[in-house]
Amino acid sequence: MVLEQRTRTEQGQLGEDAAVTHLQREGHAILARNWRWNRSEIDIVSWDGFRIVFHEVKLRSGCVLSANDPRLWMPSMAQKKRIIQAGHVYLRHEVGRLVECQFDVVLVSLLNQQVHVTRITDAFSGGHGWGRVVG
């Protein structure tokens, strides 16, 4: 089936699967997927060897990442707030102690049967600006 013709749910799952594969190649251990608290969801929780990283996955089909400003893909302020709150709850309930954490955005683009993944590290934790783009 053509990637762009899949349902939103199928594309979302494909995007998260691509993000997980990308993160694992970068050395992340996946701790949780689609972790929920109240009305909030964290798409992927991982351990990079130094900190727990909370990842928001953003998927677009029919476009090229380089043609768009990655900041246009950022979660809304309200969504960032929910993700940060859920991340803090995750640390209290699942880890049981304070550890260093980071909030990243993983951009997944589907175009011409190709999947492209770009990670923006430290995208919105503690107001550190836009973060750093990692291949």
CA nearest 32: which of 42, 21, 17? 42
Q: How far apart are CA 46 and CA 25, in angstroms?
A: 12
- Range scoring the smallest mean pLDDT among 18-22, 66-70, 79-83, 127-131: 127-131
User: What tens digit of pLDDT does each residue of 79-100 get?
Assistant: 888 999 899 899 988 887 778 8
pLDDT digits (tens, 9 = 90+) for 23-55: 999 999 999 999 999 889 999 999 999 999 999
| Containing structural domain, residue 43 | 3-134
Q: How far apart are CA 107 and CA 117, in angstroms?
A: 6
Q: Are 120 and 75 a contacting pair, CB within 8 Å?
A: no
Question: Which pLDDT score is estimated for 52?
Answer: 93
Residue 107's CATH number: 3.40.1350.10
In whole angstroms, what is the distance from residue 54 CA to residue 90 CA?
10
- The alpha carbon torsion through 43, 47, 48, 53 (nearest 10 deg) reads 40
| Domain tally, the chain | 1
| 91-100, 102-111, 122-131: range with lowest mean pLDDT | 122-131
Nearest to 41 by CA among 49, 32, 50, 31: 32
**Is the pLDDT confidence value at 131 over 50?**
no
pTM recorded for the entire structure: 0.82
Phi and psi angles of residue 38, each rounded to the nearest 5 degrees, phi first: 50, -125
